Amino acid sequence: MFDPQLALASGSSAPLGATLQQGGVNFSLHARQGDRLELCLFDALEDPEPAAVVAFSGEQHRSGSYWHGWLAGVAPGQLYGYRLPADPDCLLLDPYGLALAVPTGFDRQRGQRRAGGGGGWSGAMKSVVADLHAYDWEGDRPLQRPARETVIYELHVRGFTADSSAGVAAERAGTYAGLIDKIPYLQQLGITAVELLPVFAFDAQAAPAGLSNYWGYQPISVLAPHPAYARGSDPLAALNEFRDLVKALHRAGIEVILDVVYNHTAEGASTGAAAGPTLSYRGLAANDYYLLQSDGNGGQRDLDVTGCGNTLNANNPVVRRLIRHSLRHWVQEMHVDGFRFDLAAVLSRDEAGNPEPRPPILLDLDSDPVLAGTKLIAEAWDAAGLYEVGSFVGERWQEWNGRFRDDLRHFLKGDSGFAWLAAQRLIGSPDVYGQRGREAELSVNFITCHDGFTLADWVSYDGKHNGANGEANRDGTGDNASWNCGVEGPSQDPEVLALRGRQMRNALCLLLLASGTPMLTMGDEVGRSQSGNNNAYCQDNPTSWFDWTLVERQADLLRFTRELIAFRQRRDVVVDHDALSLADLLRRCAVEWHGVEPGQPDWGPDSHSLALSYTSAEHRFRMHVMVNAWWQPLRFTLPPTGLADGRWHRWIDTALPSPDDIATWAEVPPLPDHAYQVQPRSVVALVVRAGVG
């Protein structure tokens, strides 16, 4: 326990944060305001007053804008916060704090402010001193799987096991530990990486009244794991339980990619309708941390290109250092394998909010040696219209390919003018990335993600149904490129259900046969629905949770998805000089385009079909894919197999009932004819390989 009678030694300005050092802790903080800083130490989370207040003052404890001091006797688990003379009733969190403690009485509207009536700071969050070296990794390290071998599964830590149907122990439901219990399911599905929706400590109260911020895109800290996903009340539990999760996933051969938010914070705007609480950054150095502009009255207001009220000043040296430190922390101390950057185009804006051709922060990360083996994935757009898909700065960034989602959705639903665009998406989007000579794997392909319709809702709703969000259905995008297959919402019509199932299989098939890095969304493999809600950010309830009864009820769709993933990854598809997976073949094969007749593709505006053949370098394997997005059957003449005595074998036909919709690799049936009748709105994949006749 800290002895309040001990004096505060001068300490050091580096490293920032609360760092354990030889019997005590060095505290260092960047703050612009005032000539004095106070460190408040608490014995218990809900204590109304600190057990001790230690003052930083004068040159001994200040180097430029950095306040620092060393205290003996401070140990891991110590709760602390800061206050400045300019606002002594506000307890500020440490931007470099490694753990966060949140009291049950925290009130977002009050933020970190002292409550009257004797409440004091009992309802304020506190930073927590942590010892990162007291954990046994048992030899674990990031997996560094090549992008060409990667299949990403986007999931929500809480939502994956929060539902009672998950079958995990009650105290583990919705936690890091609960996700560990479901690793066998992920292994059986065949994915190689999980992309976790935000696990940085976030403000769960940033939502309409009566709802909660489920997605987590309101970060409070960029170093501390979200405490509510851990079990019990120990403020350090989240550190260990998150690392337990990473270690368990790595043992299963699954990488961990974090969805990270460096474009705004939970503090929201300083004034106006989007105003939020002062928690840390604004109180310490608002001019450094945020993009600000004149309010026309001699003051300043937040510049908002995120849709969340504020925008981090990512290319300010103070924020650049914080972002880089955060990423290095999650790689070195938490063994994370990669990051998906929310609204990453924001990071390319300068301090006036204008697009910067060579943004320092992005070049920093692109060349950082600690991050050299780490996956960096950009959501290359922002809420103010900056769209950088295909042009994101840097040599090694992967990108969420929003055009893949949009073009294939339009094509599969039967819209005119999308045949050529769909073809481009299937071969790695050379129209988007080809001029830069980039590998196809740098395109992260997806049909759905957390933001928008699920796969089941994409085939069940023409429009969004977001009334439960409390915003009169104004929130969420109105451009979904969706089709309800004839009935809006749930249906018992067998023909409607069959068509919806076929469309889901079509989308999964093209996603997993396309060149690039595929990403599936949690539950799409079993037809999870959100009842038409395409912006379920505030639905921490069964609307968003994984319904595990679907695993049995949608067993056929799950089997289809598993087989597709397994085929993509298996290494005995063909042997040329080396054993190659289907993913390898897709990136190396020669491609020929066809229409209903070989060598005669139709790219006209009224075309609703396409066909393409892949041939391996040694001509020992061919795959022929036919897509009929029209509402009538089409008879496709098949091209020659190119192999002596070879016959085409049917691997996939999404119009056939399970289990004939996808054959196992050992049982692909041969075709008796040189033509194939492709049924309306279906995908067919044929294969031929040496040694199979």
Catalogue the active-site residues.
342, 379
Torsion of CA 439, 441, 447, 452, to 10 degrees: -100
Give the C-alpha distances (Å, rounded to integers) separating 473 from 456, 541, 542.
20, 18, 19
Q: Which residue has the tokens 């804006």?
A: 349
Q: Rounded distance, CA 448 to CA 400, Å?
A: 11
How many helices (H) and strands (E) the chain has is answered by 15, 28
The CA distance from 556 to 497, in Å, is: 13
Give how far the C-alpha of residue 569 lies from the chain's centroid of Cα atoms, to the nearest Å: 22
Question: DSSP label at 548?
Answer: T
State residue 661 phi and psi, 5-degree precision: -65, -30
Instruction: In whole angstroms, give the CA distance from residue 416 to residue 424.
Output: 16
Residue ranges of alpha helices (H) inside 262-401 are 281-289, 317-332, 360-367
Return d(Cα 127, Cα 95) in angstroms, integer: 9
Query: DSSP letters along 478-517, please?
Result: S------TTSSS----HHHHHHHHHHHHHHHHHHHHSSSE
Assess contact for 162 and 454: CB atoms under 8 A: no
Please name the residues in contact with 519: beta carbons below 8 A apart, sequence gap of 6 or more: 151, 152, 153, 154, 195, 400, 444, 445, 446, 449
Strand 17-21 to strand 24-30: parallel, antiparallel, or no bridges (unpaired)? antiparallel
Place of tokens 């395409």: 534
C-alpha span between 501 and 633 (Å, rounded):
17
The number of residues in the chain equals: 693
**Token pair of 497 as six digits:** 């259900």
Give the Å distances, CA to CA, from 399 to 192, 390, 668: 18, 8, 35
Amino acid at 58: G
How many other CB atoms are found less than 10 A from the CB of residue 275? 15
Residue owning tokens 């079958």: 167
Distances in whole angstroms, Cα of residue 291 to Cα of each of 303, 313, 354:
5, 5, 11
Q: Are 244 and 48 in contact (CB under 8 A)?
A: no
Q: What SS3 class is residue 474?
A: coil
Q: Work out the end-to-end distance of the chain between its first and last CA atoms, rounded to an integer number of angstroms.
A: 77
Which single residue is written with the structure tokens 């009538």? Answer: 632
Alpha-carbon distances, residue 217 vs 238, 366, 455, 623 (angstroms): 18, 24, 22, 42
Q: Angle, nearest 10°, between helix axes 494-513 and 419-426?
A: 50
CA nearest to 682, candidates 616, 623, 612, 631: 631
Burial of 518 (0-12, 13-18, 19+ CB in 10 A): buried
Within 10 Å of residue 648's Cβ, how many Cβ atoms? 22
Q: E strand or H helix at 425, and its extent?
A: helix 419-426
